[in-house]
């Protein structure tokens, strides 16, 4: 049974196909396919050793029956040769592949692992992976358990190259470490960022000039053009807002941390309520509920901009007569800033994509209410920089709750304020 399975072409053929697809697809899916291939390869190794173990006595005892012995030998050789093929295919994969045993010792690695991760053969076989990747971001990630893939970190052996790494468990507490060179993607992303930032910057001055001249024109001079002038002013203001939002996003994207300032929540919340009332102009009932005295550690300007986007959305997407509640409350392990409205709501299918740039549920509704389609992207970036997350709950026709959830490390109560004051005299 076992020997028939091993002698069958199906499994090795499927492995080779997966391997080639993995290389060809060239994405994370590719990496996963390659990983699956390698796990299959390992399984074959285990099966083969079982097979050898089981068949050796058979081979010896059946030495008298020559044809049977020859047949088994031919099969064994064929399987061994396919195994060598698979192994050399895995060896030439462009992604770094390292097999680790249950105690994090290196069992095997391919050529790309030598190049990208700096492993050396045969020196590093059997050594602890953390020792080999010492002082790299990868080592810290492995030490923390590597539960999530690690994106875009400097390659241990190449300061100018970036890798994305994944750790896959298999077999009995063994692991497969995969690392892919993503330098070209990082470069493309950088080009995209620079392009958006430069275009926005270049558009700023001409727009300011156009806007300035439009303000100088008096509709009373040419009454028949008054509606045209109004529309031109509204559109130039909207373009100006899009450019400002794009510049804000570019700045947030290039930042990897925010200032650790004390953001005083009580005055901030009071000013958000005023903003909501000014935007609503009496069309909504706006309430403010402050349930905790925590302040936040972070950037006052960026947090104000994020919270204010949520408040402005609540006003813009809630019909006249609706309710808007702003709340600041403590949670089990942090605090939560929430804006709840009784507005149009959002169908579930859209929720996951709302923080993408220019993603809108209804373009006309967004445009009519003066939206740029960038507000929630800004919110997401600001929250990421504060290690906080955005939670969105919504029901069409009933309303939505957008909440910013902060962990306790970002909060300041009376005691922490003194500590922080001590660190920053
Ligand atoms: P916009 O400038 O278009 O409002 P945002 O990024 O702020 O851009 O929001 C993205 C989309 O999410 C909006 O176009 C709108 O469709 C939806 N949205 C955001 N907030 C709300 C809300 N409170 N109620 C209903 N829909 C909302």
Mean pLDDT over 298-327 rounds to 97
| Beta carbons of 297 and 412 less than 8 angstroms apart | yes
Residue 242 located in a structural domain: yes
Residue 423 located in a structural domain: no
> From the CA of 375, how far away is ligand 1's center (Å)?
8
Q: What is the pLDDT of residue 304?
A: 97
Q: Are residues 37 and 141 in the same domain?
A: no
Q: Are residues 123 and 135 in the same domain?
A: yes
Nearest atom of ligand 1 to the alpha carbon of 363: 14
Residue 407 located in a structural domain: yes
Show which of 152, 181, 210 is a domain's final residue. Answer: 181
Kindly indicate the confidence band of residue 171, based on its pLDDT and cuts at 50, 70 and 90. confident
Q: Are residues 298 and 404 in the same domain?
A: yes
Show which of 181, 196, 223 is a domain's final residue. Answer: 181
Mutate to test the pocket of ligand 1, among 371, 383, 393, 403 (most ligand atoms within 8 A of CB): 371
Which has the minimum average pLDDT: 49-63, 104-118, 344-358? 49-63
Q: What is the pLDDT of residue 222?
A: 85
Kindly indicate the confidence band of residue 17, based on its pLDDT and cuts at 50, 70 and 90. low
> From the CA of 291, how far away is ligand 1's center (Å)?
26
Nearest atom of ligand 1 to the alpha carbon of 373: 8
Mean pLDDT over 179-183 rounds to 94
Nearest atom of ligand 1 to the alpha carbon of 366: 3
Q: What is the pLDDT of residue 5?
A: 44
Nearest atom of ligand 1 to the alpha carbon of 339: 23
Kindly indicate the confidence band of residue 390, based on its pLDDT and cuts at 50, 70 and 90. very high
Closest CA to ligand 1's atom 7 = 375
Q: What is the pLDDT of residue 158?
A: 85
Residue 194 located in a structural domain: yes
Closest CA to ligand 1's atom 4 = 371
Beta-sheet pairing, 158-170 with 174-181:
antiparallel
> From the CA of 215, how far away is ligand 1's center (Å)?
29
Q: Are residues 101 and 89 in the same domain?
A: no
Residue 398 located in a structural domain: yes
H/E element, 46: helix 28-61
Residue 209 predicted with pLDDT over 80: yes
Buried b (16+ CB within 10 A) or exposed e, 325-334: bbbbeeeeee
Q: What is the pLDDT of residue 23?
A: 47
Q: What is the pLDDT of residue 145?
A: 86
Mutate to test the pocket of ligand 1, among 346, 370, 399 (most ligand atoms within 8 A of CB): 346
Q: What is the pLDDT of residue 256?
A: 86
Beta-sheet pairing, 106-109 with 96-100:
antiparallel
Q: What is the pLDDT of residue 205?
A: 93
Residue 58 located in a structural domain: yes
> From the CA of 363, how far away is ligand 1's center (Å)?
9
Q: Are residues 243 and 269 in the same domain?
A: no
Beta-sheet pairing, 323-331 with 285-290:
parallel
Q: What is the pLDDT of residue 365?
A: 79
Higher pLDDT, 365 or 279: 279
Q: What is the pLDDT of residue 2?
A: 43
Q: What is the pLDDT of residue 39?
A: 57
Residue 64 predicted with pLDDT over 80: no
What is the domain range of residue 193? 185-254
| Beta carbons of 297 and 263 less than 8 angstroms apart | yes
Give the CA count within 13 Å in the CB-facing half-sphere of 404.
Answer: 29
Q: Are residues 239 and 319 in the same domain?
A: no
pLDDT in tens, 341-388: 999 999 999 999 999 999 999 888 777 777 889 999 999 999 999 999
Q: Are residues 318 and 388 in the same domain?
A: yes
CA gap 129, 412 in Å, rounded: 39
Mean pLDDT over 148-176 rounds to 90
Which residue has 């028949």 as its token pair?
224
The share of the chain scoring above pLDDT 90, in percent, equals 60
CATH number at residue 388: 3.30.565.10
Residue 79 predicted with pLDDT over 70: yes
Kindly indicate the confidence band of residue 46, based on its pLDDT and cuts at 50, 70 and 90. low
| Beta carbons of 16 and 85 less than 8 angstroms apart | yes
Show which of 45, 64, 93 is a domain's final residue. Answer: 93
Pocket of ligand 1 (CB under 6 A): 309, 313-314, 317, 341, 343-344, 346, 354, 359-362, 366, 371-376, 400
Q: Are residues 49 and 153 in the same domain?
A: no
Higher pLDDT, 231 or 157: 231
Q: What is the pLDDT of residue 68?
A: 85
> From the CA of 366, how far away is ligand 1's center (Å)?
7
Mean pLDDT over 114-136 rounds to 89
CATH number at residue 169: 3.30.450.20
Which has the minimum average pLDDT: 2-6, 74-78, 393-397? 2-6
Mutate to test the pocket of ligand 1, among 315, 354, 390 (most ligand atoms within 8 A of CB): 354
Nearest atom of ligand 1 to the alpha carbon of 362: 16
Average pLDDT, the chain: 85
Q: Are residues 137 and 161 in the same domain?
A: yes
Q: Are residues 8 and 24 in the same domain?
A: yes
Higher pLDDT, 172 or 274: 274
Kindly indicate the confidence band of residue 1, based on its pLDDT and cuts at 50, 70 and 90. very low
Q: Are residues 154 and 270 in the same domain?
A: no
Q: And the tokens for 273?
A: 């309520």
Residue 19 located in a structural domain: yes
Residue 70 located in a structural domain: yes
Ramachandran assignment for 417, one of left (phi > 0), alpha (psi -120 to 50 degrees), beta (any other): alpha
Q: Are residues 400 and 295 in the same domain?
A: yes
CATH number at residue 198: 1.10.287.130
Number of structural domains in the chain: 4
Mean pLDDT over 204-222 rounds to 91
């Amino acid at each position: 049974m076992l020997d028939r399975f091993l002698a069958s072409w199906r499994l090795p053929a499927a492995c080779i196909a997966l391997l080639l697809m993995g290389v060809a697809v060239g994405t994370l899916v590719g990496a996963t396919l390659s990983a699956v291939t390698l796990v299959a390869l390992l399984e074959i190794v285990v099966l083969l050793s079982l097979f050898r173990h089981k068949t050796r006595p058979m081979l010896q005892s059946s030495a008298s029956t020559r044809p049977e012995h020859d047949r088994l030998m031919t099969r064994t050789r064929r399987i061994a040769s396919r195994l060598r093929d698979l192994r050399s295919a895995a060896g030439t994969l462009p992604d770094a592949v390292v097999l680790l045993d249950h105690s994090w010792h290196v069992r095997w690695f391919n050529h790309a692992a030598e190049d990208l991760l700096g492993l050396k053969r045969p020196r590093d076989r059997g050594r602890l992976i953390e020792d080999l990747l010492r002082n790299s971001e990868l080592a810290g990630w492995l030490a923390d358990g590597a539960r999530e893939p690690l994106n875009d970190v400097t390659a241990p052996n190449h300061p100018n190259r970036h890798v994305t790494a994944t750790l896959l468990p298999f077999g009995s507490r063994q692991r497969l470490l995969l690392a892919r060179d993503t330098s070209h993607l990082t470069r493309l992303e950088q080009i995209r960022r620079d392009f958006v930032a430069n275009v926005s910057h270049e558009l700023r001055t001409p727009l300011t000039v156009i806007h300035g001249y439009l303000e100088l024109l008096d509709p009373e001079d040419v009454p028949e053009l008054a509606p045209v002038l109004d529309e031109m002013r509204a559109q130039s203001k909207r373009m100006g807002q899009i450019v400002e939002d794009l510049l804000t996003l570019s700045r947030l994207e290039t930042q990897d941390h925010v200032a650790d300032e004390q953001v005083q929540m009580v005055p901030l919340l009071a000013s958000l309520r005023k903003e909501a009332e000014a935007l609503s102009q009496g069309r909504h009932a706006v309430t403010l509920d402050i349930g905790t005295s925590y302040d936040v550690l972070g950037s006052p300007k960026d947090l104000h901009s994020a919270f204010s986007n949520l408040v402005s959305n609540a006003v813009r997407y809630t019909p006249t007569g609706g309710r808007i509640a702003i709340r600041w409350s403590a949670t089990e392990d942090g605090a939560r800033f929430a804006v709840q409205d009784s507005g149009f709501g959002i169908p579930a299918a859209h929720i996951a994509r709302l923080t993408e740039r220019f993603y809108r549920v209804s373009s006309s509704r967004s445009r009519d209410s003066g939206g740029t389609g960038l507000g929630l992207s800004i919110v997401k970036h600001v929250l990421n920089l504060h290690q906080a997350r955005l939670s969105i709950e919504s029901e069409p026709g009933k309303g939505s709750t957008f909440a910013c959830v902060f962990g306790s490390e970002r909060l300041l109560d009376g005691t922490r304020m003194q500590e922080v004051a001590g660190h920053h005299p």
